[in-house]
């Protein structure tokens, strides 16, 4: 008897759950939904609109025409969406050209709150952040170098001052502050050199290590400067340039595009003004971008045909070409979620 009662409870709970779920998924009346869509359209809330249209597609049979007049607006809505994306892009780029970087970033952020998965806006925002960060890094490096040179110019003055009035309290306080600044900047320059070495930027690394060594001489920094100078002399020769280019051509013929690009960047790190290498890198980047776009389009075609795994494979190939491509990352993430859902449904059947 108790088992029957438990069964009755389970059935009752299931019926209640289904009732609540069905109420939650109830579609608003057509006129109310249309009014909502017009309001969202005025506010450019395209995520809300897409969700509402998807629910119409999934919840209503093809012979139910009461929502058809809403579905007929899809082309108009899509046109408005494209215009919104274009306007956002143009406005952000104008802010950037006016050196109003935060306004440009805010423009993208505000738009992505209304249309969060838009690949073009995500990609443009990513590129904006990258360019901004590169400029900030360059400015900080320049400030560090200028401060280091200023401290170096004062070094002999403070050394002479110490010898002239070693017991003067105020002079000693100034010298103590100077020494603290000198050591702090020397350490920052050492870190600057380490980071430049990690990126194979030999000239920048040499500048940082050399200045750091002037402020706070150490045997380690002297060895680093000497080693880098040897490398710069060696790599500046025509033979070294030819060798790097040969490595690039070899990788390119094997379709190892990422490796080929790495060889060109290494060469530019040594000789930033090497005209041929600059031209080759520009052409290679363009070629990689076109190949990535082709794979994105092929993946989209496969995805539209419900060939999720095929689309994933193609998009992963695109990611190997451009590991930081925000659109490809977004597509893979979406497809992986769909693939997992399909696999889960197949397992439960």
What is the rounded CA–CA span in Å between residue 93 and residue 83? 15
Lowest mean pLDDT, pick from 50-59, 134-143, 144-153: 50-59
DSSP state of 236: T
What is the rounded CA–CA span in Å between residue 111 and residue 158? 56
Of the two residues 272 and 236, the one the predictor is more confident about is 272
Domains annotated for the chain, with CATH where assigned, are 30-57+72-117 (no CATH), 118-235 (no CATH), 240-349 (1.25.40)
Phi, psi at residue 166, to the nearest 5°? -65, -20
DSSP state of 26: P
Q: What is the mean pLDDT of the chain?
A: 85
Which residues contact residue 193 at a Cβ distance below 8 angstroms, ignoring those fewer than 6 apart?
A: 204, 205, 206, 208, 209, 212, 221, 224
Whether pTM > 0.75 for this model: the answer is: no
pLDDT digits (tens, 9 = 90+) for 61-96: 444 578 888 889 999 999 999 999 999 999 999 999
Residue 1 scores a pLDDT above 60: no
């Amino acid at each position: 008897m108790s088992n029957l009662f438990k069964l009755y409870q389970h059935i009752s709970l299931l019926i209640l759950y289904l009732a609540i779920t069905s109420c939650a998924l109830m579609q608003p009346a057509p006129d109310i939904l249309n009014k909502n869509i017009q309001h969202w359209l005025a506010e450019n809330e395209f995520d809300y609109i897409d969700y509402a249209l998807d629910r119409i597609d999934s919840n209503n049979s093809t012979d139910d025409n009461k929502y058809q007049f809403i579905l007929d607006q899809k082309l108009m809505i899509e046109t408005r969406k494209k215009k919104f994306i274009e306007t956002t892009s143009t406005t952000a780029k104008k802010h950037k050209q006016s050196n109003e970087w935060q306004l440009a970033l805010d423009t993208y952020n505000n738009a992505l709150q209304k249309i969060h998965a838009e690949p073009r806006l995500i990609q443009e925002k990513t590129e904006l952040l990258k360019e901004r960060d590169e400029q900030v890094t360059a400015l900080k490096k320049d400030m560090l170098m200028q401060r280091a040179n200023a401290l170096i110019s004062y070094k002999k003055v403070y050394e002479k001052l110490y010898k002239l009035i070693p017991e003067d309290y105020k002079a000693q306080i100034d010298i103590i502050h100077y020494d603290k600044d000198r050591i702090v900047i020397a350490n920052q320059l050492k870190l600057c050199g380490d980071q430049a070495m990690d990126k194979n930027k030999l000239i920048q690394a040499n500048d940082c290590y050399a200045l750091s060594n002037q402020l706070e001489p150490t045997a380690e920094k002297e060895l680093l400067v000497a080693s880098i100078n040897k490398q710069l002399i060696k790599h500046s020769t025509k033979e070294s340039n030819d060798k790097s280019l040969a490595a690039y051509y070899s990788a390119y013929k094997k379709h190892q595009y990422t490796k080929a690009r790495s060889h060109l960047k290494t060469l530019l790190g040594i000789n930033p003004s090497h005209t041929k290498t600059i031209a080759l890198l520009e052409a290679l980047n363009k070629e990689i971008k076109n190949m990535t776009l082709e794979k994105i389009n092929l993946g989209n075609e496969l995805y539209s045909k419900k060939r999720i795994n095929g689309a994933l494979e193609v998009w992963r190939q695109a990611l190997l070409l451009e590991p930081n491509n925000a659109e490809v990352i977004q597509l893979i993430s979406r497809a992986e979620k769909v693939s997992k859902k399909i696999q889960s449904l197949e397992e439960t059947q």
